[in-house]
Structures are given as structure tokens and as C-alpha cells.
Amino acid sequence: MEKRELIYEGKAKRVYTTADPDLVIQYFKDDATAFNAQKRGTITSKGIINNALSETFFRLLAANGVPTHFVERLNDREMLVKRLEIIPVETVVRNVVAGSLAKRLGLEEGKELPSPIVEYYYKSDALGDPMINEWHATVLGMATHAELQRINELTLHVNSVLRPFLAHRNLLLIDMKLEFGRHKGEILLGDEICPDTCRFWDATTRKKLDKDRFRQDLGEVEEAYQEVHRRICIG
């Protein structure tokens, strides 16, 4: 399908209209950012890898009853998806202490949580995506109670599907950020699922295989993305 007008460009993707008003094309870039775009760089072939990984995850989730915006992968860098009215609430589900959770609560990174924790963040680059709660989201009109309940259900279901799938490939799902949107009255999972939006650790060595390698200047960034791609898409 031919892409037409550029309607959005974010840190990792561009979105284009198509001849069908209900469908758009996501183009995956190699650009990398961290700390609300204060750190910028390029991860070679990141867009190609994230497109392939997202397709694999979206197909897996759809087969397990999770409604997503995915339609088909068009080529190495482009994916056809349903057009969503994005709900400006980023949902994070955490299985292991890492990142901001460790800093905010003074917890040891790598500590297993007895059950998943779900957090909300207001999707606003200008404000640095501040953490919010259900009261903020509903009172300020970001989402309804029913929508948040559905988002919670889907978030935990996505987590329950992906954790064993990744464990079988010797990967730990530490945490992940999910975005949802409205499409013809239904809440769909959108955006992407990849090392940009998830923390993946090797289950044996606990080596980080995600964007934390870029954030923390750990080196071997491209190699980490390639390793995740090899385990998930190639086997």
C-alpha cells in the first residue's frame, strides 16, 4: 500500500496516511534517544529489527486474544496498522526492579517482584512523561474508568503471554511500556514492542539486551538488538 502524507514523526517512527482513512503506515527509524531526547544517537539497523520484532510479538498476541493495531509488515522498515486515536497514558508493567522504579523507591535493581506492577505515565514529551495515577487519567479526561480497566486487563494479559515466550528463548522480560488507542469503539494495543520499549535481560547472565545499553553507555548496543532479533525471529 502506498504511503501518502506524513502526519506524525516521533523519536523512533514516522507515520503516514494511506488511501484508506482507517489505515496508516509506520516507518521505523534508526534514531535513538534517551532521557526525554536529551541524549541522541543512531543504532544501526534498529528500525529493521524493531519492525520485525514488533510483527512477531503482535502476531503472537493476536493469536492469544489481544487486539492490536497490526495489519501486516510491508517491508523491512514499514508496517501497515490500523489508525488509532492514541490514549495519552503510557502503561508500564514491571516484573523485576529496574530503571526509575529502583531510583524512586531505593530498591535494588534486579530484585524479582512477587507480582507485576502496573504504572501510568502521561504521554507528553514536553513534560518528560510524568508518572500519574488513575485519578489524574480520569478526572483530566485522558481515559475513562472503563478504558483504564480494559487497558489494565490487556496489559497483564500481554505480560502473561510474553514472559513464557521469552523465557523459552532464555530472555527475561524485566518491564515494558505499552501504548493503547481507540479504533471504532475498541481499545487496541498500538505502537511497537521491541528493545526500545522493553527491558530484556539474558536469563542466564542477566546481561542487558535493550536500549539501556545505549542509555548507560554500556557498549555493544547493535549487538544486543541483533541478539534479541536472532533469538525471537530466527531461533
**H or E segment at 59?**
helix 46-63
CA distance 67 to 128: 28
Q: State the pLDDT at residue 181.
A: 98
Residue ranges per domain, the chain? 6-82, 85-221
CA distance 196 to 211: 5
**H or E segment at 101?**
helix 99-105
pLDDT tens for each residue of 196-223: 999 999 999 999 999 999 999 999 999 9
CA distance 181 to 145: 15
Q: State the pLDDT at residue 68.
A: 98
Say if 6-82 and 85-221 have the same CATH topology.
no
Q: State the pLDDT at residue 12.
A: 93
Q: List Cβ neighbours of 219 (8 Å cut-off, separation of 6 or more).
A: 213
Q: Cell 487519567 appears where?
A: 137
What is the value of pTM for the model shown?
Answer: 0.95
What is 85-221's CATH superfamily? ATP-grasp fold, B domain (3.30.470.20)
Phi, psi of 76 (to 5 degrees): -55, -35
From the centroid of its chain, how far is CA 149?
19
Using alpha carbons, list the distances in angstroms from residue 137 to 126, 128, 132, 149, 191: 17, 16, 7, 12, 20
pLDDT tens for each residue of 148-186: 999 999 999 999 999 999 999 999 999 999 999 999 999
Low-confidence ranges of the chain (pLDDT < 70): 37
What is 6-82's CATH superfamily? Phosphorylase Kinase; domain 1 (3.30.200.20)
